[in-house]
Structure 1
Amino acid sequence: MKGLLDYILNQRSFLIALFLINLFGTIYGYIWYESQLKITDPIFLLFVPDSPTASLFFTIFLGFYIFNKNVPFIEALALITLFKYGIWAVVMNGLTFLEFGSLPWTGYMLVISHAAMAVQGLLYAPYYKIRFRHVTVAAVWTLHNDVIDYVYEQMPVYPAIMEHLKEIGYFTFWLSLLSIAIGYYFARIHRYSV
């Protein structure tokens, strides 16, 4: 089974298709944030569109990986942020569903696409060439982003659950630590496998 999965994940045609899906998904994600970005202070612009930036990291990884190149800092950022924001969006949409009893069709689309983000980041983790230093930089980025989101209140806006901001911030902090721990796990595995 592992051999078949390796074969599929490393097929050039599959990689190109995945690259294009992530590229267009990233572009769509930035467009989705357009209204929020218009009212965002320029100093925070880089840190508001969390999910599209995570998929941008993965798209860059794929672009290099197709040509048998590795970009470890980008790979660490992709692994940690894809998992974090993939799970985060699934949970936030789940909370919205619990609050209102339903989601618009875009909510279900976001659940599926963000779950796929988390999964693809983990599926390709064995092929990353990350070390502890790469994960450390990605960890600083991730925790810094939490500060921007929840101290400076620049987080993605989910109107239905904004009254639970403190709890969401707390959950996000621990989700960040879990995501970083996953990054360190794969860095450790790679360290001892070469």
Structure 2
Amino acid sequence: MNFLTPLLIDRRFLWLLLIINIAGTVYGYYWYIPQLAVTPSFFLLFVPDSPTASLFFVFVVIAFLRYRNYPLFEALALITLIKYGVWAVVMNILTFKVIGYLPWQGYMLIASHGAMAIQGILYAKYYKFKLWHVLAVAIWTLHNDVIDYVFMQYPKYPGLEMYEREIGYFTFWLSIVSIGIALYVYQTRRREDK
């Protein structure tokens, strides 16, 4: 991965990444409009998962462009980009498997969400979050799972309603794996700093 370092820290690439993530975030919130329209106001913050994950990464990229780090946003970005990136890829593939086709937006969501997860991981070596950041984000992430699957605020995919419990179970373990990756990044960074 060291061969990617010059590209990842190139300011022109960071600006491009910022523009792409802002556009993706705006589209993501637009995609959620129908669900947000019927969401009780006290759940609104927890419903648009993927665009909020990419919004966290927007703040990370802005910090990098300013030669700074925003550790809480780095932890939020890493965990949520992996979780919701992988989640959306799996849900769209499952939708295709269950209903037999996928609209063009589904393929776009597979590509964009796969890229979300990858960018979160590629920039992990630049993150400077501490253990408390990971623990705070772990609480946020698991709380979000409760909102999604206890209060039924998760994104609805056509044809997948019958797999609600299985999707909730998968999502919980995806959260645990994403948190585990963040803990691994934290421990690796600590060892390198010694």
**Equivalent pairs: percent with the same residue?**
57
Q: Report what 2:25 is aligned to.
A: 26
> 1:9 — aligned with what?
8
Aligned to 2:146: 147
Structure 1 equivalent of residue 157 of structure 2: 158
Task: Please give the alpha-carbon distance, in whole angstroms, between the structure 2 residues aligned to 1:96 and 1:159.
Answer: 7
| Structure 1 stretches lacking a partner, 5+ long | none
Q: CA deviation at 1:112?
A: 0.3
1:134 and 2:109 are equivalent in the alignment: no
Question: What is the alpha-carbon distance in structure 1 between the residues aligned to residue 132 and residue 85 of structure 2?
Answer: 24
Equivalences for 1:1-194 in 2 at 5 Å?
A: 2=2, 4-194=3-193
**Distance in 1 (alpha carbons) for counterparts of 2:156 and 2:98:** 15
1:130 and 1:190 in contact (8 A); partners too: no
Q: TM-score normalised to the size of structure 2?
A: 0.98
TM-score (norm 1): 0.98
Measure the CA separation in 2 of the matches of 1:185 and 1:134: 13
User: Residues of 2 paired with 1:8 and 1:68: CA distance?
Assistant: 16
Give the partner amino acid of 1:119: I
What letter matches 2:140 in structure 1? W
* Stretches of structure 2 lacking an aligned partner (at least 5 in a row): none
Take 1:162 and 1:193, find their aligned partners in 2: how far apart are those partners?
46
**Aligned partner letter, 1:90:** V
CA contact (8 A) 2:95 2:158 kept: no
Give the alignment's Cα RMSD to 1 decimal: 0.8
> Partner of 2:102: helix, strand, or coil?
coil
Displacement after TM superposition at 1:193 (Å): 1.2
* CA distance in structure 1 between the partners assigned to 2:65 and 2:189 by the alignment: 20
Q: Which runs of 4+ in 1 moved over 3 A?
A: none
Give the aligned length. Answer: 193
2:187 corresponds to which letter in structure 1? R
Q: Cα deviation per residue 1:59-86 (whole Å; 9 max; x = unaligned)?
A: 1100111111101011000000000000
AA paired with 2:84? Y
CA contact (8 A) 1:130 1:186 kept: no
Three-state SS of the structure 2 residue aligned to 1:78 is helix
- 1:59 & 1:44 partners in 2: Cα distance? 23
User: C-alpha deviations, 1:34-76, integer Å up to 9, x for none?
Assistant: 0110110000000000000000000110011111110101100
SS in 2 for 1:159: coil
**Deviation by residue 1:141-177 (Cα, 9 ceiling, x = unmatched):** 1000000000000011112201110000000000000
